[in-house]
Each structure stands twice: as C-alpha cells, then as structure tokens.
Amino acid sequence: MQICQQDQYIKYRREGFAAIVCILLLTAATYNLHTYLSQRSLLNITYQIIPMLTQSSVPPTAYLPHSEVAPAHDHTLLQGKPAESFDEMPIVDVKTFLERLPGWELECEKVAFCLHNYGILIFRDPRANEQENEEYIDLMEKYFKNASDKYYAGERLSEAKPEYHFQVGVTPEKIERARNHYEKVKHLPEEDKPSSPFPPTVDMKWRYMWKIGERPAGADDDFPQVLPEGFPDWEEKMNSWGQKLLQAGTTAAQMAALGMGLDEHAFTKRMEGGAHLLAPTGSDLVRNEVGATLAGFHYDIAFLTIHGKSRYPGLQIWLRNWKKLAVKIPKGCLLMQAGSSFEHITGGYVLSGYHEVMYNEDTKRALENVKEQMALSGKERILWRVSSTLFSHFRGEVDISPMRELAHLMDPVQAGTYKRMTAFEKLMEELRATSMTADTKKE
Ligand SMILES: [Fe+2]
C-alpha cells in the first residue's frame, strides 16, 4: 500500500515536472515567434490591416501599440496619433538612406508608413538643390506669362499638342477637368470637404509637359518633345531639374520597396523607360481671384508625383482618413504624392492621394507680400503661382495588377477590385476621363 502511494507520488511529480517543462517551452516558443514577427515588421502590418478589413474610418495608427511602431526613434508621429497638420508630418531623411547611416532601415519603414497612411512623403533630399528650384520657377514664370500673353491676344500656340493628348508641350487653362468624385466626399464634415465645385469645372491652371529620360523604341507613350521658341536655356534647365526630381522619385521608390518588405528594385525596375514628365503648372494670380479653382479635386495618374516647393500656398491634400490638410513644404524638402498606378500595383495598400489647388486667402496673402517686396525693391515680378511638378511613371507595357509579393499587406477583397491592365492602358483611361484626349469633348 505504501509502495503504491510512493509510486503515485512519483507519478504526480513526473507529470508536474513535465507540465512545467511544457509551459517553459511554450513560453520560449511564443517569445521567439513574437520576436521574429516583430523583426519582420509583420505585427505592424497585421495591426495596419485590421482597420482596412473592418473598413473603419479610424486611422490605422490608432491600432498600433507604441512599442511596435517606432522603437527608440524620432518618428513622434508614429506614436499612435494621426497627423492633423503638416507640422506633425515626419520628414524622410534621404541622406541617411543614401549613405546607409545608422537608422536607414527605419527611414525606409517611415516611407512605407507615410505612403500607406498619408499618401505623401516629405522628402529631404540633399541632391535637390533649393536654388535650382528657384531658378527653374523663374524660367517657368517667364514662359507662362509669355505664352498666355500670346494666347489671350488670339495667337495660336504652336507648342500646344492636343493630338498628343497634351502629354508634351503646353496645356492652356480651361482644358483639363477633374473626374467627378462627389459621391466620395459628400459625407465628409464641412471642414474636410473640397473647396472646388461639384460637378467639377475646368481648371484655371496652365501646364507644360517635358519628357524626362529615355523611352523604349516604339513606346506608345513616346510623343515627340516640344521646345518653345525664345528660351535658349530651356532644354538644359528643364532636363537638369527634371533629372533631380526623377532621381528623388527613384530613391523614394527604392525606400518604399524596402519598407514594404520587397526587393529594393521592385518598383524602380518597372519605372525604367517610363513616360516620366516634368509637368510644371502655372496659374495667373492677377487674372484670377480668390475662389478660383486652379486644379479641381483629383488624384494623379502617375506612380509618384514629385513637387518642389512653390512660392504660393493653395495646394490641399486628403489623407487616408479623409482629413484635409493645407500643404506647407518645409524649406529644403520635396513633397511626393502617390498616384493611381501606385494604388493599383499595391492593391490599395497605398492609395492615390486626392488633392486640389485653390486660389485661397493664404494664396492672396502671399501675393500681397510679393507686391510689397516689389514696391520696396522697385523690381517687377511675374505674379504667377508655379508648381514644380514631375510625374514618374511605370513603363507603358508594365502590368500594374496588384503585385503578388505585396499580398501580405493587402486586403484581398479590396485588391480584387483592381483589374489587370498595363500602365499605358491606365494612362489612357485617366486621360479620357479628364478631357485630355483629342477625342474627348472640351468646354
Ligand atoms: Fe494633381
């Protein structure tokens, strides 16, 4: 009987010991799995997908535990509270990435994070010289003033090419008209509603399209370059600034790919030979007045749109959570915004950023300042709002269907709404929808 009790006791001890070992092993395995997932940023991704799956309007940041988002870094924005003004937006430190300084991987994560949540990047690229942006804006102010004087005097502008869907040369005012996105914005609170009217009116902005980089022989989107008369340094200045912006866009694409867990060249290899366009816009601040729609509420067709700093405010953007923000680009930075090709290829993980450009009270105040400076210095200035813009594109034949390699970031239901198409088909679809093709009706 005693032996029997001893056996029972030994059995209980063995079982108890085995249970403790199991618990210890299970704890260690859970810890290792957690560490592994954290290292792979998969936890972040899981948390980011939750709101997409539930179709919640709460920004994904609200779901992110602080420790999982921005370990010991200066991404104060990534601490759970969504940005409510431009001052709260993180700035991408491109030098850290280019020189692979400590923290470069976090800069790539920052790029992916900002593109997903905000659709934009504030990009401090040391290669994009501010002085060059200023000289380029001077050139464009002169061009737009000169071309519009001729246009209003009834002269035909030989550099306007509707037969090439305005994808090279000048697009005068009142040609482009945004798609009607009223259904998407009608429920927004007043402060987040677009200021531009619905149904959209024609844009009051002008634009010039100048091809940057080489296209593959016979590419569908390779229209002949158009050079305006009377600007001897045009080609050199346009190419120089255009290459700087494209270089910045290419770096952003590399950082985005790395930040999303892809090969560094996943996007850039698709951009080689793309129909990149330096596409500055110009709006006459004397002929127009407060309330004028310089560019109606829209998104861009491009993969990434890259902007230098403008001399006048007026650009407003919408974040993923539909919050409207007035753009203020910090000195020495570029602004990038995702276009529809980026949205398509990421199956909606990155959304194309809605934006509009209005002649508003801030624009007017900046204009009054410039007029005061003119009066003080006695120097005439051209009073046009120029936006130094470059559209970076995928090569025309690239399939922009949602990439399988990005499946871990996508909501499969949402991703399924993006049909199979090439970058060129996307371009033509959007141009037709915005009155830019020769066969669409103009006002
Ligand atoms: Fe745009």
Q: How far is the CA of 355 from the centre of ligand 1 (A)?
A: 6
Q: How far is the CA of 300 from the centre of ligand 1 (A)?
A: 5
Q: How far is the CA of 235 from the centre of ligand 1 (A)?
A: 24
Q: How far is the CA of 295 from the centre of ligand 1 (A)?
A: 7
Q: How far apart are CA 73 and CA 105, in angstroms?
A: 11
Q: How far is the CA of 10 from the centre of ligand 1 (A)?
A: 77
SS3 at position 289: coil
Q: How far is the CA of 354 from the centre of ligand 1 (A)?
A: 8
Q: How far is the CA of 146 from the centre of ligand 1 (A)?
A: 24
> Which value, in Å, is the radius of gyration of the alpha carbons in the chain?
26
pLDDT at res. 425: 92
Q: How far is the CA of 136 from the centre of ligand 1 (A)?
A: 19
pLDDT at res. 218: 86
pLDDT at res. 8: 63
Q: How far is the CA of 175 from the centre of ligand 1 (A)?
A: 14
Chain centroid to CA 362: 23
Q: CB of 123 within 8 A of CB of 336? A: yes
CATH superfamily of this structure's domain 120-433 = B-lactam Antibiotic, Isopenicillin N Synthase; Chain (2.60.120.330)
Q: Which residues of the chain have pLDDT under 50?
A: 1-4, 30-79, 440-443
> At 241, which amino acid appears?
W
Contacts of 414 (CB under 8 A, 6+ apart): 52, 347, 348
Pairing between strand 91-93 and 120-124?
parallel
Percent of the chain with pLDDT over 90: 71
Closest residue by Cα to residue 389 from 144, 207, 232, 250: 207
Q: How far is the CA of 281 from the centre of ligand 1 (A)?
A: 10
Q: How far is the CA of 296 from the centre of ligand 1 (A)?
A: 9
On the question of a cis peptide bond just before residue 65, with omega within 30 degrees of 0, the verdict is: no
Q: How far is the CA of 430 from the centre of ligand 1 (A)?
A: 12
